[in-house]
Chain A
Amino acid sequence: MLTDAIAAEGYKFRRNQSVLFWGFAFVPLAVLVFNLMLETYLGLHNPGIVGRRAGEVALGPQILHGIGLAGSSFAQIFFVAGAAAIFAGEYRWETWRLLAPRNSRINLLAAKFAVYAMACAASLAGLGLGALLQTVYGAVLNGMTMAMPPAAFGGQLLGLFLATWAELLVVGVFTAAIAVAGRAMTGALLAGIFFSFAQGIAMAIVHPWEAPLRYFAMLPAMCAYLLRAWASGQQIAPGVFADPALLLPASGFLLLWIAAGGAVAAALFQAQDLPRE
């Protein structure tokens, strides 16, 4: 059963401390530590910085910005590393022989997707929590007041969280498909990183506010960027907001990428011989 496969994969994942740390805990921790150090430095050594000693800080945008950091290619290096370890681990350790006779292949692969998705969600939650802590710390240190999020913040948070999560899932399924096709962790890692950076570079050339729809279909990161900007109410260019007409196609493209990547990985794995990994 799928629940058995998820229980086994989750048990194994929780004990794989290096993947747990570098894949999913490092980004929130590193961002938190860096921001706390920055707040401390600015608070103690540069008290005269204009605008930092007075006024108030808005908690909501800080949390949204913190979660949105997972959309950067640099942060995604670590998520790709986590995905490569999860999806290519059995090839790396030659352990499919142990696992494959115990549950159906679809369940075993789906369990890996589930664990990766849960780990990404926890990591995003960690980024949000880190942003909250950093904001509170900075406000206290600088004597600023905090503006509580408005009532609409819940919807904004959910929208941004889902868009960023979906982007990480796209990166994950792409890495999974490469891991299964290549049966190698390094190949999956490099391909995943390339996939993430290539989209980043493409987005610097093809701007989301003027790109035709087909570019959104090719660049899931741009879809996620657009959805994040819409959810948080931020401009995507000076004076330009996300086009509401693009929201539905962008959401569809993200889901399509996840479904297609997962289907490719599953089809390859179903047909694969596992005499030696």
Chain B
Amino acid sequence: MTALDRLSLSIPQGGVYGILGANGTGKSTFFRLCLDLLRPGGGDLTVLGGRPGSAQVRRAIGAMIETPRYYPFLTAAETLVMLGRASGIAAPDPAYWLGRVGLADAAHRKVHHFSVGMKQRLGIAAALVSRPQILILDEPTSGMDPAGIQDMRALMRELAARDGITIILSSHLLDEVQRVCDRVAIFNRGKLVAEERVDALVAEREKLRLLAASPHALLAALGAGAVPDGDGVLVAITRAQAPALLRELIAGGAEIIEARWVGGGLEKFYLEQTGAAHAD
């Protein structure tokens, strides 16, 4: 079985890059190969122009793969010091990184007692302690509560914007990917089937749904650009065109009750791509 088939991925520097795909499509295999945790059964793999496991690649990449495990006898700060030293950082700064992930108060507690969310945060701090250019996060919000997920999203955006770190995120939560990522790639059966800017693919697919007192009058006013959708009307326009259209309709006497964007979620695009690939 070929886990990854002639996969070539160009990830732009900076920002958050999402990788989507069903279970078993090769996402985790891809990450583990990049981190030298898996040895390819055949073929070649080049990451950042180097071989995975080379000093150059190791220095450039930090990662948190699923819910990380830790040594039960070390505290959070000791864990970061130990991992920092293994990475060649003579003086790791655990207080700074634990502060960045909101674990400053737990620095001297044994990791054994941490909740899943705290372990995820510590995993990010552990990945960052060697100051990598690229941060791989595989299901970083798995097992976290809603508040923790929100904090994690904010942290990812902050790391990309403030620290200039390129984040590669894998998640099954399409809403999360849509909110956080700048670009997204979709894997299916070990192949890259789509790659797109998130805002562009959302804009391509979203429509303005209008609910008016008289849908028939609204349809007549909008002409060929509109189609009925239950008790409302769908209009295929861009967000920039929306204010002018609404002004025009109201000036023409239309009684608009509701106007909202629908159909622009990542989910539809994802299902289109993976569904098409299944049909092959």
Contact = CB atoms under 8 A, between A and B. Distances in A.
A11 B126 CA distance: 16
B110 to A, nearest CB: 10
B38 A102 contact: no
A4 B129 CA distance: 14
B87 A102 contact: yes
A102 B85 CA distance: 9
A5 B86 CA distance: 5
A275 B28 contact: yes
A101 B68 contact: no
Contact of B70 (A17, A95, A272): A95
Interface-central residue, A12, A102, A273, by most chain B CB under 10 Å: A102
Interface stretch (B76-84, B190-198, B247-255, B264-272): B76-84
Interface in B61-75: 61, 63, 65, 68-74
Contact of B86 (A16, A89, A93, A103): A103
Interface string A1-42: 100110111011001111000000000000000000000000
A100 B57 CA distance: 13
B71 A95 contact: yes
Q: Which of A18, A97, A108 has the most CB of B within 10 A?
A: A97
A96 B73 CA distance: 16
Contacts of A243: none
A72 interface: no
A98 B68 contact: yes
A98 B83 contact: yes
Contacts of A103: 58, 86-88
Given A95-B71, A101-B58, A12 B82 contact: yes
B65 A97 contact: yes
Interface string A85-123: 000010001111111111111001000000000000000
A274 interface: yes
A95 B69 CA distance: 6
Nearest to A12: B82
B39 A271 contact: yes
Contacts of B61: 101
A99 B53 CA distance: 12
Nearest to A270: B39
Contacts, number: 84
Interface string A244-277: 0000000000000000000000000001111100
B27 to A, nearest CB: 12
B85 A97 contact: no
A98 B39 contact: no
Given A4-B88, A93-B70, A11 B37 contact: no
Nearest to A95: B69
A59 B28 CA distance: 62
Interface string A50-74: 0000000000000000000000000
A99 B58 contact: no
Given A93-B70, A94-B69, A100 B36 contact: yes
B170 interface: no
Contacts of B85: 4, 7-8, 11
Nearest to A104: B53
Contacts of B63: 101
Nearest to B129: A102
A8 B83 contact: yes
Nearest to B74: A15
A7 B73 CA distance: 17
A15 B78 contact: yes
B33 to A, nearest CB: 10
B16 interface: no
Contacts of B68: 97-98
A12 B82 CA distance: 6
Contact of B38 (A93, A105, A273): A273
Contacts of B184: none
B130 interface: yes
19 contacts: A4-B85, A8-B83, A12-B71, A12-B82, A89-B71, A95-B69, A95-B71, A97-B37, A97-B65, A98-B69, A98-B70, A99-B83, A101-B36, A101-B58, A101-B63, A102-B130, A103-B86, A273-B32, A274-B37
